[in-house]
């Protein structure tokens, strides 16, 4: 039996997939990032949040309706360092952990994407955690 953490998640690129460099993402902001799939089809859609040297990410998909929180960067509703808001039903998610704090999906959360950073500032999808 395989370790659950080695199983690919359908909405998260494989560990080691490059995300860019730390400097590609504005500090104290959330940025949309679409990554092409090797197999074609719809891209992996992520939201990357930068807080100084710290970076974390979520899948760009609301747990309530399954739609992206935003289709384009200009449409992303964010209160930097505090919250992200879905454009469809205005569910509000905590910046730090992605939990729905208000709206139709209270108690649910955005899907986290582990991020690894090397000493040169290159970012990649980190190892998936069991759960």
**98 within some domain:** yes
Q: Closest Cα to residue 84, out of 66, 71, 72, 96?
A: 96
Would you say residue 1 lies in a domain?
Answer: no
Nearest to 125 by CA among 30, 29, 42, 55: 55
Percent of the chain with pLDDT over 90: 74
Q: Residue 3 has what pLDDT? A: 36
The percentage of residues in the chain with a pLDDT greater than 70, rounded to a whole number, is 92
pTM of the predicted protein model: 0.89
Q: Say if 131 falls within a structural domain.
A: no
- Look at residue 4 and tell me if it is in a domain: no
Domain assignment present for residue 130? The answer is no
Burial of 57 from C-beta contacts in 10 A (0-12 / 13-18 / 19+): buried
Residue 62 sits in a domain whose CATH number is 2.102.10.10
Is 111 contained in some domain?
Answer: yes
Range in 76-80, 94-98, 102-106 with the lowest mean pLDDT: 102-106
36 in any annotated domain: yes
pLDDT at residue 9 tops 90: no
Q: Structural domain tally of the chain?
A: 1
pLDDT digits (tens, 9 = 90+) for 107-127: 999 999 999 999 999 999 999
Structural domain for 50, as ranges: 14-125
- Domain assignment present for 18: yes
């Amino acid at each position: 039996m395989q370790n659950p953490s080695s199983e690919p998640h359908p909405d998260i690129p494989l560990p080691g997939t490059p995300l860019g460099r730390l400097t590609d993402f504005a500090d104290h902001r959330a940025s949309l990032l679409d990554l092409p799939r090797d197999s074609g089809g719809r891209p992996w859609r992520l939201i990357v949040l930068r807080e100084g040297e710290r970076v974390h990410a979520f899948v760009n998909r609301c747990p309530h309706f399954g739609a992206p929180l935003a289709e384009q960067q200009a449409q992303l509703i964010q209160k930097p360092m505090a919250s992200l808001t879905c454009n469809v039903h205005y569910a509000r998610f905590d910046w730090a952990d992605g939990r729905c704090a208000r709206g139709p999906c209270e108690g649910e959360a955005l899907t986290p994407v582990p991020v690894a950073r090397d000493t040169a500032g290159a970012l990649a999808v980190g190892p998936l955690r069991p759960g």
